[in-house]
Amino acid sequence: MRAIIVHGGAGDAKKAEEISVRVEVVKESATEGYSLLKNSSSAIDAVVHAVKILEDHPLFDAGRGSYLNEEGEVEMDAGIMEGDTLFIGAVAGIKRVKNPVELAKLVMEKSPHNFLIGEGAEEFGKKYGIEFAPFDYFLTERLIQIWKGQYGDTVGAVALDDTGHIAAAVSTGGTQNKHRGRVGDSPLVGSGFYANDIYGAVSTGIGEDIMKVVMSFRIMLYYPSISLDESVKKVIEDLAKANGKAGIIALDRNGNISFGYNTKGIFKAFIKDGMTEVEGGY
C-alpha cells in the first residue's frame, strides 16, 4: 500500500483568492509525492519532494515566502523522521538555505547529531553542497503586504511506501513577527513531527500550543487501541483543553489517512492506492 498526505498550514486563511491556489498546490504536492511512491521511491524521498514543492511556492510559510521575524529576517526550521529506523534530522534558525527540508535530511543522513541550528547548520549544509539563496529570494510581495493575525502556512507531508515504511517531514518560516531566535514546534521531534513503524504525523498551528501536548507523538497515547481517526480526534480535544489551536495530518502502516484541526481550516491533500485522483481542500 502506498499513501501520502500533505498539508499547507492550518489557520484562518482570509484571502479567498489565495485559498483556491493553495489547495491546487497542496494537491500537486501530494500527486507528485505519490508518483514517486508509485515508482518505488522511499517514503523519505516522497515527503522531501512533496515538501520542496511547497517550500518553493511563495504562498506558504516555508522556504520562499517564510514569515519574517520582528527584525525583518528570515529564520526557518525543518524536521524529518524515518519511521522504521527512528532516524531524525532537524534544523532551526536557518536563514539562506533554499530548501530547509533538504538540510534536515542531510543532518539525518550525514551527521552523528539529530538537530543543528543557525550558522552551524548552514556550515554543515555547505560542506555537502546544499543550495543557498539570497534574502531577496525569500522576501515575496505577499510578505511585504501581509495582513496581521494570520497564522498557519507551514508545510508538511507524511508518506507510506511500497516496503511498508513511513516518513514524516515538516518545514516552516515560523510565526509572523516572532522574536529573533524563536523556535516553534516544527523542528521538535514529537511536537512538530513524528514517525515510527506504525504511524506518522505532522502538526501545524501555534507552535507554543503544539508543544504543550507534544502533538505529533500524542497519537501514540491512543493509537492503535482505537482507530487513527478517533486518535486524531482525541489529540485535537487534548489540544483544545490546553487552549491550543492547531491541525494535524497522519497516516498509518495500513494506509489509513487522517487529519484534524480546531482552526478555521487546514490546507491538505492526500492520495493512496485505490484512489483514482487526489483529494484536497481547506
Give the binding site for ligand ASP (CB under 6 A): 9, 61, 151-154, 172, 174-175, 184-186, 204-207, 210
Residue 163 C-beta: closest distance to ligand ASP, Å: 30
Measured distance CA(94)–CA(116) in Å, rounded: 9
| Nearest in space to 264 (alpha carbons), one of 11, 8, 22 | 11
Question: Which of 31, 154, 175, 204 is the catalytic position?
Answer: 154
Of 37 and 169, CB closest to ligand ASP: 169
Give the number of other CB atoms < 10 A from CB of residue 187: 34
Q: Is the peptide bond before 224 cis (omega within 30 degrees of 0)?
A: yes
Take residue 258 and report the three cell numbers written for it.
487522517
Does 163 qualify as catalytic in the annotation? Answer: no
Of 58 and 255, CB closest to ligand ASP: 58
Take residue 92 and report the three cell numbers written for it.
532551526
Residue 42 C-beta: closest distance to ligand ASP, Å: 25
Which secondary-structure segment (H or E) carries 29?
A: helix 16-38
Which 8-state DSSP code applies to residue 228? H
List C-alpha distances in Å: 77 to 62, 97, 128, 135.
8, 10, 19, 16
Of 36 and 59, CB closest to ligand ASP: 59
Of 9 and 280, CB closest to ligand ASP: 9
Residue 170 C-beta: closest distance to ligand ASP, Å: 8
Q: How many CA atoms lie within 13 A of 114 on its CB side?
A: 10
Residue 168 C-beta: closest distance to ligand ASP, Å: 14
| Nearest in space to 24 (alpha carbons), one of 54, 46, 55, 48 | 54
Length of the chain: 282
Residue 54 C-beta: closest distance to ligand ASP, Å: 12
Take residue 23 and report the three cell numbers written for it.
489547495
Write out the catalytic residue numbers. Answer: 154
